[in-house]
Amino acid sequence: MTTDSETYDSIPEDMDVRKPRARLRRAGTVQSRRSIVAVAELLGGISNASAEAFRSLNSAMTPDAVARAGLGTSLFNGVRDGNARFFEELSQTSTRVFEALRPPRTAEGVGPLADPESVARRLDYERLAQLVAAEMSKQPPSPAP
């Protein structure tokens, strides 16, 4: 919105929200977008987990189940199954939240995997044998059967 003394032409380009660059800058930094996605994922996951818990409770409280096992037993089973379902869903949600918060991986951040042969060449087998022998000599001899 412009004031009486301001025209659309006098607005600097980097402040004009009609320009893509300004919209992108105003959308926030990468980390803040990741945080927003993580919070949305968390809230959605909690609501899904709650819904699944109540579905489990409702399925245990059917008229047939109550008639067969009794109200107390059906309620106990429903709450037990609901809690288990809630925490299963919540564990999946927490995985998605942490994935949303993780910074993107770059190709240079991941080091090359060491091949087993190069690792075996770097091992000092003499020193390893001495350490194993020293540890074995510390242990009391086991009685013969």
Quote the mean pLDDT of the chain.
77
96-143 pLDDT, tens per residue?
Answer: 888 888 876 655 555 555 666 666 667 777 888 888 888 888 866 666
Residues with Cβ within 8 Å of 57's Cβ and at least 6 positions away in sequence, in order, are 78, 79, 81, 82
Predicted model pTM = 0.50
User: Does residue 29 carry a pLDDT above 70?
Assistant: no
Q: Which two tokens mark 64?
A: 């047939």
Q: CA 120 to CA 131: how far, in whole Å?
A: 17
At residue 141, the pLDDT reads 63
Q: CA 52 to CA 45: how far, in whole Å?
A: 10
Instruction: From 60, 49, 59, select the one nearest 83 (Cα to Cα).
Output: 49
32-54 pLDDT, tens per residue?
Answer: 778 888 888 999 999 999 999 99
| Least confidently predicted of 15-29, 52-66, 110-124 | 15-29
